[in-house]
C-alpha cells in the first residue's frame, strides 16, 4: 500500500517545493507513492520558472507518480502569453504574473516579444489536467460543485470557484459547501489563509498562503480513509520577514 501526498498553491516558492519533496520522500521511504500538485505553482513568488523546470522533469526516485494540475494562475499565464494584449497583461501581472516574468529574465521595460518563456513550458502547462480522481478522492484546484458530476463541471469553475466562508470575495462564483454527489472527498486549494489547512468531513482546503507565510501544508492520504491521515509542514522564510 502506498500513500498519496498533496500540496496546493506554491506560487513561485521553489524553496518550499524542494522541502516538501524531501519530506514526502523521507516519509514514504522506498515504497514511493503519489505526489499531487493542485495547481497555482506560478506567480507571486520569485521562482516560478524553477518550479516548472522541476515539475516537468518529474520524479527522480523510483516508485513515484507525480500528478500536476493546472490552476487558475497557470490558465491566466497561458491566456496572457498566448494572445498578448495590454488588458490581459495588466490582469495577469496585477495578479502576480510580473514575478513569473522576472523568473524568466524579464525586467521592467523589456519587450514581451520575442517570448522568453520556452515553447516547451507553454505546451506542458497547456496539457496539464484540470482534476485527478482516485477511488476515494477528487483532487482539483478550486473545488467541485456538490450537485454536478465531475465530468459535467466547467473547467473554469473547477479552477475558480469558492466555498462560502473560506475567503471573502464579492465577485466570485460560489457553490454550497456540501458533500459532493459522488460521495468522494474533495481535496483543493485556491482559498488562501494563514490559518489553513481547513479540514472538513467532506473536503480539505490545503491553501496555507504559502508564498507569504513560508508554510506549505502537505497532506498525507492513506488508501483506507478519504480524508488526510495527517498534515506535514514544509517550512521556509516568511515573506514578511
CA distance 149 to 161: 15
- Residues in contact with 155: Cβ distance below 8 Å, sequence separation at least 6, in sequence order: 130
Chain-wide mean pLDDT for the chain?
Answer: 94
Residue 240 has pLDDT above 80, yes or no: no
pLDDT higher at 54 or 169: 54
Residue 140 has pLDDT above 80, yes or no: yes
Tell me the pLDDT tens digit for each residue of 86-95: 999 999 999 9
Residue 162 — very low, low, confident or very high, per pLDDT cuts 50/70/90?
Answer: very high
Q: What local confidence, expressed as pLDDT, does residue 169 receive?
A: 64
Q: What local confidence, expressed as pLDDT, does residue 170 receive?
A: 60
pLDDT higher at 204 or 224: 204
Residue 14 has pLDDT above 90, yes or no: yes
Q: What local confidence, expressed as pLDDT, does residue 168 receive?
A: 63
Residue 7 has pLDDT above 90, yes or no: yes
Question: Helices 72-82 and 119-127: crossing angle, nearest 10°?
Answer: 130
CA distance 69 to 8: 10
Tell me the pLDDT tens digit for each residue of 76-127: 999 999 987 899 999 999 999 999 999 999 998 899 999 999 999 999 999 9
The two beta strands, 137-140 and 198-199, are unpaired
Domains annotated for the chain, with CATH where assigned, are 3-235 (3.60.21.10)
Q: What local confidence, expressed as pLDDT, does residue 214 receive?
A: 97
Q: What local confidence, expressed as pLDDT, does residue 132 receive?
A: 98
Helix, strand, coil percentages in the chain from 3-state DSSP, rounded to 5: 35, 20, 45
CA distance 80 to 65: 30
Residue 144 has pLDDT above 90, yes or no: yes
Residue 241 has pLDDT above 60, yes or no: no
Question: Is residue 73 within a helix (H) or strand (E), and if so which, with residue range?
Answer: helix 72-82
Q: What local confidence, expressed as pLDDT, does residue 224 receive?
A: 85
Q: What is the mean pLDDT of residues 13-41?
A: 97
Amino acid at each position: 500500500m502506498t500513500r498519496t501526498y498533496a500540496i496546493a498553491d506554491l506560487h513561485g516558492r521553489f524553496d518550499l517545493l524542494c522541502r516538501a519533496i524531501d519530506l514526502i520522500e523521507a516519509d514514504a521511504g522506498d515504497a514511493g507513492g503519489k505526489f499531487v500538485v493542485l495547481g497555482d505553482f506560478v506567480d507571486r513568488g520569485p521562482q516560478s520558472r524553477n518550479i516548472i523546470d522541476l515539475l516537468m522533469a518529474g520524479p527522480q526516485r523510483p516508485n513515484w507518480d507525480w500528478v500536476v494540475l493546472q490552476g487558475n494562475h497557470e490558465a491566466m499565464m497561458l491566456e496572457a502569453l498566448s494572445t498578448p494584449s495590454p488588458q490581459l497583461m495588466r490582469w495577469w501581472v496585477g495578479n502576480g504574473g510580473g514575478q513569473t516574468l522576472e523568473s524568466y529574465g524579464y525586467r521592467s521595460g523589456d519587450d514581451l516579444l520575442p517570448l522568453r518563456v520556452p515553447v516547451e513550458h507553454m505546451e506542458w502547462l497547456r496539457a496539464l489536467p484540470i482534476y485527478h480522481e482516485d477511488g476515494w478522492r477528487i483532487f482539483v484546484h478550486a473545488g467541485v460543485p456538490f450537485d454536478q458530476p465531475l465530468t459535467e463541471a466547467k473547467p473554469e469553475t473547477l479552477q475558480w470557484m469558492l466555498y462560502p466562508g473560506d475567503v471573502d470575495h464579492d465577485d466570485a462564483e460560489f457553490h454550497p459547501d456540501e458533500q459532493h454527489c459522488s460521495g468522494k472527498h474533495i481535496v483543493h486549494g485556491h482559498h488562501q489563509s494563514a490559518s489553513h489547512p481547513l479540514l472538513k468531513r467532506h473536503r480539505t482546503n490545503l491553501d496555507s498562503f504559502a508564498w507569504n507565510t513560508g508554510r506549505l501544508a502537505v497532506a498525507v492520504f492513506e488508501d483506507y480513509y478519504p480524508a488526510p491521515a495527517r498534515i506535514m509542514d514544509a517550512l521556509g522564510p516568511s515573506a514578511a520577514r
